[in-house]
Chains A and B, each alone.
Chain A
Amino acid sequence: MLSSQTSPSRATIPPKLASVLQVTPMALVFLALVIVPLGLIFVVSFLDYNFAQVFPELYLETWVDVLTSDLTLALYLKTFKFLVIVWAITAPLGFAIAYFLAFHLRSNWLRTLLVTAIAIPFWTSGPIRMVSWVPLLGREGVVNQTLMGAGLIDEPLGWLMYSEFAVLVAYVQMLTMPMIATALNSMAKIPPSVIQAARDAGASEWQIVRDIIFPLVRPGLAIGTIIVTTAIMGDVVMVKFMGGSQVNTVGMSIITDLNAFMYPPAAAKSILLLIVVLSIVVSLLRFADIRKELRS
């Protein structure tokens, strides 16, 4: 890349070549780890198979099955149900907590402490976090003990753990944090003078939240929503552990196929899931300019 030693100044690379050279490393990583495997999965989804074997023959029944079965629809409905419920809880909760942290805490020290407290569970490993639910929600757990001690129930509630409810609780606990983070990030960019100007104009606290803060935080909430969507649509670990074997979702059905060595159906379902998630993300991006949001 260097020109002859006689050149007085440093050799310059043409700008076009420089751009190509700059993107090459990432492009190679992306190609090797994303595009090629995706291509393989796509090809495999069209191949014939039997137990533990895939034949290099075109077989379209897999796709017909995936696209027409009622089971696919039911699985997506179940997954979307989780998504909608979790979003409906984490978005307002995240917004409210971020609003409190950003606008009603005078002490920076206390704000840092609280943000850290919110972030710590996020840093602990997934299995540990999920095991920790047992002493709380299990049959002998704190919640059941307390309710029975208070005489509100006669026998332990079984649906607190290993149920859809448990899955939802775990999702909300984990996914409120990214909602807070993205909303807080947007709120931190609102200059205090803007809020003061609204207050001077006679706006009540509620009017300030509705007419000034919420519109300005919407892009942050959109990004939080993307994080929640991708986390839930792609999740298997949480459903498996918190739901016991009681709850089935799109991700779980792919795992079931994989465990049975049925690679083509697993591949077809994965491709379909990818398309669905990407469509949701693309439509959400209309609400947010990600580059602008990520700029600090």
Chain B
Amino acid sequence: MTLALKTETPPPAPAKPRQVTQSHRFDAELVAVTKRYGPGAPAVDNISLRIPRGSYCCLLGPSGCGKSTTLRMLAGHEEVSDGAILIHDQEITHAPPVARGTSMMFQDYALFPHLSALDNVAFSLKVQGVARGERRARAKEYLELVQMDHLAERLPSQMSGGQQQRVALARSLITRPKVLLLDEPLSALDPFLRIRMRAELKRIQKELGISFIHVTHSQDEALALADLVVVMNNAVIMQAGAAREVYETPSNAFVARFLGGHNVVQRAGGGEASVRADQCVIGARPGLRSLPGTVSMIEYQGTAVRVSVTGTDGEELTALMPTGAFFNDALELGQSVRLSWDPADEHPLG
């Protein structure tokens, strides 16, 4: 599904000057950053992360894992308790938001309700004292980049959620950020628009060549978008790496479970391993490891069928079966079955 979307040709965009940058190794760098709100467990606990140049980075995790706090510290909306933050190799840990070279796109868009789309985008130029004609011309360029130039005179209340988001994106980009910060940018959109908008975000990121740091709790979104997926839980980073690396070789049980599509099983020689659900089958076969259980859920998903099997110990395992294979020998809820997999597909967890 994701692949099909990526091949979809995006609408042609106007030529944009690339962000001119001096040589630096990383667009953003967190060095042992901690955020404490009071006594007790910190909201972000001693995390370090390097985001290479021109990356699409997704901070992924359940709510309360510290991903939004991390983003807010990058934006300068939250004081850093300990550690340092660098943007383009420059330390900006305590710099005000405007001096960091970051720009935040807010979850609720935070458009100025009394200003037109064009004036919203032009606002940062206005406060810098850029003359009216010039700032409107430049704002228009950025509205073209997000394909909103035809609604330049509309007020936010006269635009749909997706349109407001595009305007918010243009308003962030006009500040020429070195790093764009996006706080759950797609969560307020309907599923169809969400998929279109994420393709758009990726296109714009590639076009501008700057880094995007995108907070999300959606695994699909992170895998579809990110060059660098950072999975967080309980205030720490559980794993950071390329989307495929994190998905295929999760380094611990949390990442395997959270990304979905994985079963966590005990290895024959002790310790835990993950097995991808699409590599599991129902029924015992020679040469395969298997576990007994009862079918607890059957979910038809179009291209595949998801069968959940609850084992004797109460642990739930999932097999993702091709539709054809499933309907050749349809299962019933409550049926006793064995869920099997090839030991060679086991990926040991640390």
Contact = CB atoms under 8 A, between A and B. Distances in A.
Interface in A183-209: 191, 193-194, 196-204, 207
A203 B113 contact: no
B75 interface: yes
A202 B110 contact: no
B112 A212 contact: yes
Contacts of B77: 196
Contacts of A215: 114
B127 A201 contact: yes
Given A191-B108, A196-B106, A200-B98, A216 B114 contact: yes
Contact of B103 (A193, A200, A204): A200
Contacts of A194: 110-113
A200, A207, A215, A216: most-surrounded residue (chain B CB, <10 A): A200
Contacts of A211: 123, 126-127
A282 B112 CA distance: 27
Interface residues of A, number: 17
Interface in B88-123: 97-98, 103-104, 106-108, 110-114, 123
B46 interface: no
B252 interface: no
Q: Which of A198, A201, A202 has the most CB of B within 10 A?
A: A201
- Chain B interface size range: 20 to 34
Contacts of A212: 112
Interface string B66-103: 00000000010100000000000000000001100001
Interface in B120-176: 123-124, 126-128, 171, 175
B108 A203 contact: no
A193 B106 contact: yes
Nearest to B127: A203
Contacts of A196: 77, 97, 104, 106, 110
A242 to B, nearest CB: 39
A61 to B, nearest CB: 52
Contact of B110 (A197, A203, A207, A216): A197
Nearest to B126: A211
B110 A193 contact: yes
Nearest to A195: B110
Nearest to B97: A200
Contact of B123 (A193, A201, A216): A201
Contacts of A199: 97-98
Contacts of A216: 113-114
B247 to A, nearest CB: 33
A73 to B, nearest CB: 39
Contacts of A203: 123, 127
Given A215-B114, A216-B114, A197 B106 contact: yes
Most buried by A among B127, B128, B171, B175: B127
A93 to B, nearest CB: 23
Contacts of B113: 194, 216
A201 B175 contact: yes
A202 B106 contact: no
Nearest to B104: A200
A212 B119 CA distance: 12
Contacts of B171: 197, 201
20 contacts: A191-B108, A191-B110, A194-B112, A196-B97, A196-B106, A197-B111, A199-B97, A200-B97, A200-B98, A200-B103, A201-B123, A201-B175, A202-B175, A203-B123, A204-B127, A207-B127, A211-B126, A215-B114, A216-B113, A216-B114
Given A197-B112, A200-B75, A201-B98, 19 more contacts: A191-B110, A193-B106, A193-B110, A194-B110, A196-B77, A196-B110, A197-B111, A198-B112, A198-B123, A200-B97, A200-B98, A200-B175, A201-B124, A201-B171, A202-B98, A203-B127, A211-B123, A211-B126, A216-B114
Interface of B: 75, 77, 97-98, 103-104, 106-108, 110-114, 123-124, 126-128, 171, 175
